[in-house]
Structure 1
């Protein structure tokens, strides 16, 4: 029989596979998980991780061990989740000593480095168990390489770079895009715990530990570019008399991607509360990382330079308003980048609709 006469099973493309790893053998399943960092992204991810562990049933794991620099956040997290599902660690060293798998999600490179130095110092002579450290923060790729070297000094310990793409609202739904690089067996052990439930899909970039965080910065460069374009479009819409509602309608008609729509809605409604989104400090940090990466790779991204300045302008105006008692937000969302465009155009930074229709002079001669 010729091959053309055979009924072959459909082959699933790699792009459509949500978890690009086979399931690990049962004896290798860890039982104690830890989560370090309960901020805007860490808290919803840890909450979904708790739910995933609960679904596994009793006897398959211990309660999630959590730690945050602000102890009140850890206690509130446990109160919300339930003491049977999570417990507060006395310090980050306890997390390192007791856990088989430790997830970290912290706001700055400095915080990530400090936490890992403390954890590895606590277990440097302990070879009693196999440990996996999984970092979900957004850090500069070179730091991931340094962390991998540091973790590798501990016998039977491995590091996995695992940043996620998506805002806190998407993290709360368990729909972030998960990027992985590092030791293959370690990625395989945690992948099926993360999808579904924590993320919708895993992109595996191989064993080069720096690739995942490089990929994340590329992703954030796209989001940052989108924010800059939206900010300029909304400013022009206001100055020309088109208005924000019509600009938002245009986004809905032409660019109906979830992220685009969400940020467009924030700009249209002056909804810049950073506690419900991504704090502008994180946006400025990411922009600095992207600029450094483009410089090291000799690959210019001029729009990132502009966007970085818009973010800094927005932060400066916000801080000035706080001193004057004008702003009510605890922190500024990075969609507030629009303030940079508005101020440059002579408009109010965080309040649209102040200028009215632009006056256009007509030469009748």
Structure 2
């Protein structure tokens, strides 16, 4: 933890925390936060949650009970009632839409206060993976929030897939106002993550670093996929490449994704969806263009992601797909097809050169 414990004499307990967005990452993060606060902090109000589809909010309420979770009627409720609001959103467009609605609600509240304006701080923590053209997107979000007295935006994307979100072992990246970061850091670790990395006061830095980190993951997936594919074409076999990974590169990420590719475990509903992979690859390539820093591995990875998604869409139209949503490790389907192999059927791939 890069911060000393916060001293907040101006803030009075209890602290109302809100959460907007209960997707594949947001749901387990919100659940862990609600559980942690209930178990470790006395007399705190339930986590106030909102999601576009109310079913997910209701599911979380059923799972945890009304002592830990309450459902907001709308975004305005969360924006105006909470001291700290965390958002986990699907895309730049959704983030801009949500924060414009938040800003409008806060501006309207300020206009209706006849006496003194509010003096307590409200902190907004944007945890999504958003683009860095997005550099400009975050300036837009920051301007929306910072224009309102006593409101601060902290960018707080996280490293880790849904499985790490479930276990509260994510790595949290924070950039923005120092006092706000200090306060939310102690709320997020260990409730949703195991470590905080401070990227400084520029709100653009955390989302930019998140994209750079994701480029390492995506580049690794591309390298594993290419190695598996040439192993099959040459008759060595991808199973032996996985043995090599276990012996020489036994990193958790390589082991997990190597196993998924080896056994065609492409179920995106329990992993990271290929749509998310295409989105991240697009953001990373835009970042590389902005800074004139070529990233050819990411170029190849995006092509293979798009190929895999197109083939999956074609299967879905004929009712022959095995998975409703593809995991981004399915980019190996693109490398296999490019090499003239069957994309989804490992048995057919391996029969070309039996051991």
TM-score, normalised to structure 1, is 0.90
In structure 1, the partner of 2:270 is 276
Q: Determine the C-alpha separation between the residues in 1 that align with 2:223 and 2:329.
A: 11
Structure 1, unpaired ranges of 5+ = 1-18, 361-365
Question: Of residues 22, 33, 36 in structure 2, which corresponds to 1:38?
Answer: 22
> Deviations 1:146-192 (Å, cap 9, x if unpaired)?
11111011110000000001100011111111111000010011111
1:23 pairs with 2:5: yes
Q: Determine the C-alpha separation between the residues in 1 that align with 2:121 and 2:8.
A: 15
1:134 pairs with 2:125: yes
In structure 1, the partner of 2:36 is 52
Structure 2, unpaired ranges of 5+ = 111-116
In structure 2, the partner of 1:329 is 323
In structure 2, the partner of 1:110 is 93
Q: Determine the C-alpha separation between the residues in 1 that align with 2:106 and 2:201.
A: 24
> Deviations 1:250-299 (Å, cap 9, x if unpaired)?
11111111111111111111111111011111111111111111111011
Question: Of residues 62, 79, 101 in structure 1, which corresponds to 2:62?
Answer: 79
Question: Could you tell me whether the CA contact under 8 Å between 1:52 and 1:193 is conserved in 2?
Answer: no
Superposition RMSD on alpha carbons, in Å?
Answer: 1.5
1:123, distance to aligned residue in structure 2 (A): 1.1
Q: Determine the C-alpha separation between the residues in 2 that align with 1:106 and 1:157.
A: 20
In structure 1, the partner of 2:52 is 69
In structure 2, the partner of 1:4 is none
Count of aligned pairs between the two proteins: 341
Q: Determine the C-alpha separation between the residues in 2 that align with 1:64 and 1:31.
A: 10
Question: Could you tell me whether the CA contact under 8 Å between 1:93 and 1:122 is conserved in 2?
Answer: yes
Question: Could you tell me whether the CA contact under 8 Å between 1:30 and 1:100 is conserved in 2?
Answer: no
> Deviations 1:339-363 (Å, cap 9, x if unpaired)?
1001111222122121345569xxx
In structure 1, the partner of 2:83 is 100
Question: Could you tell me whether the CA contact under 8 Å between 2:235 and 2:353 is conserved in 1?
Answer: no
Question: Of residues 272, 286, 298 in structure 1, which corresponds to 2:280?
Answer: 286
- Which shows bigger deviation, 302-311 or 349-358? 349-358
Q: Determine the C-alpha separation between the residues in 2 that align with 1:220 and 1:143.
A: 19
Question: Of residues 284, 289, 297 in structure 2, which corresponds to 1:295?
Answer: 289
Q: Determine the C-alpha separation between the residues in 2 that align with 1:167 and 1:35.
A: 19
Q: Determine the C-alpha separation between the residues in 2 that align with 1:30 and 1:212.
A: 29
1:180 pairs with 2:162: no
1:24, distance to aligned residue in structure 2 (A): 1.1
Q: Determine the C-alpha separation between the residues in 2 that align with 1:229 and 1:344.
A: 15
Q: Which runs of 4+ in 1 moved over 4 A?
A: 357-360
In structure 2, the partner of 1:3 is none
TM-score, normalised to structure 2, is 0.93
The alpha-carbon distance between structure 1 residues 267 and 359, as it changes in their structure 2 partners (threshold 3 A), is: closer
Secondary structure, counterpart of 2:286 in structure 1: helix
In structure 2, the partner of 1:13 is none
1:226 pairs with 2:209: no
Secondary structure, counterpart of 1:353 in structure 2: helix
Larger radius of gyration: 1
